[in-house]
Amino acid sequence: MSESAFDRRAVAKSLVGFLVAAALLYAFGYVLGWQSILSALASADPTPVVLACASSLVALSLWAKGWETVLASLNVDVPYRDLVPTYFAATFADYVTPFGKAGGGPFVAAVLSADHDASYEESLASVVTTDALNLLPFFSFAGVGVVVLGLTGSVPRNVRALVYGLGVMALCLPLVGYGVWRARGAATRWLSRILDPIASRVRFVDSESIEQRAAQFFSLLGDLGARRSWVAETLAFAYVGWVFFALPLWLAAWAVGVSLPLQLVAFVVPASAMASLVPTPGGLGGVEAAVTGLLVALAGVDTATAAAIALLYRVASFWFVLPVGGSATLWLTYRG
């Protein structure tokens, strides 16, 4: 009963999130002018949009290949053909849940440990490691994009603080993450201190058990760090996957007759992804507004065309991925 209640709560949160997102998207189009946006969308070439959708699938498939490499370093042998639908299902979990990145990892770790010869801790360690390595291109390309934009003098004065601030975040957050990793022993102790008062009041929270699992989890990450031969291969898949993940924005612009500089794409994609922190599934509403604003400010695109590019980009990178990931989730849940 508790599981079904949890499922109902999760579904309810997702539905509320999508309703909020629908309101934000309507307001987004209302402010910019739906008629102008729809006119720009009507003139779009469908071929680049189809290519953009395919590019999103290629990106996810490459990141799944990187995950296979991480699992192999833990001596966990899972066929790549099984990892692809699992990775798509994890992406679906990320996309349908507000702040969903916190839920996709545990979900896919649970699926992997149930279906294959891997513990939950091993599975979760592999997912977290793969996600961390996939973020390195995100930050480094954003940093490079900021540098190139700054050197070419193409950053308007009124948005310099925003652009350079995002660039500093892109460069500093990996250092913060590394610092947390170096202080993992203290992080485990802090986790226990935070959970102790909760455990005294909530029956099903066992702080000691969670602390032990966290220590085991960090130990597995340490084992991964000691076997560095796999890192270069995983990073190669991460960087190439990121190129295919960013390509849909360039293709969306091409669909409406706009040619975006590659350094601008390299900056706008990760910068707009930070807007996914808004409490809606997949950052709906926030990402579209961020892409539109950045294209208007940095590329001089008119608002209606920029909004059309943002919506087409999200069709390829979000809406198209949803049914694919949802189908993978159903297959993993109900297969015999």
Cα dihedral value 121, 123, 125, 126, nearest 10 = 160
Label residue 70 by pLDDT band (50, 70, 90).
confident
- Residue 153: how many other CB atoms lie within 10 Å: 7
Digit-coded pLDDT (tens) for 95-151: 887 655 555 566 677 777 776 667 777 777 777 778 777 877 877 777 777 777 766
Digit-coded pLDDT (tens) for 261-312: 888 898 888 888 777 666 777 778 888 988 998 899 888 899 999 999 999 9
Q: How many residues does the chain have?
A: 336
Is the pLDDT confidence value at 226 over 60? no
Classified as helix, coil or strand, 200 is coil
Domain that holds residue 52: 2-334
Is the pLDDT confidence value at 203 over 50? no
Domain count, the chain: 1
Q: What is the pTM of this model?
A: 0.78
Residue type, 214: A
Residues 204, 212, 200: CA angle, nearest 5 degrees:
35
The answer to whether residues 249 and 256 touch, using CB atoms and an 8 Å cutoff, is no
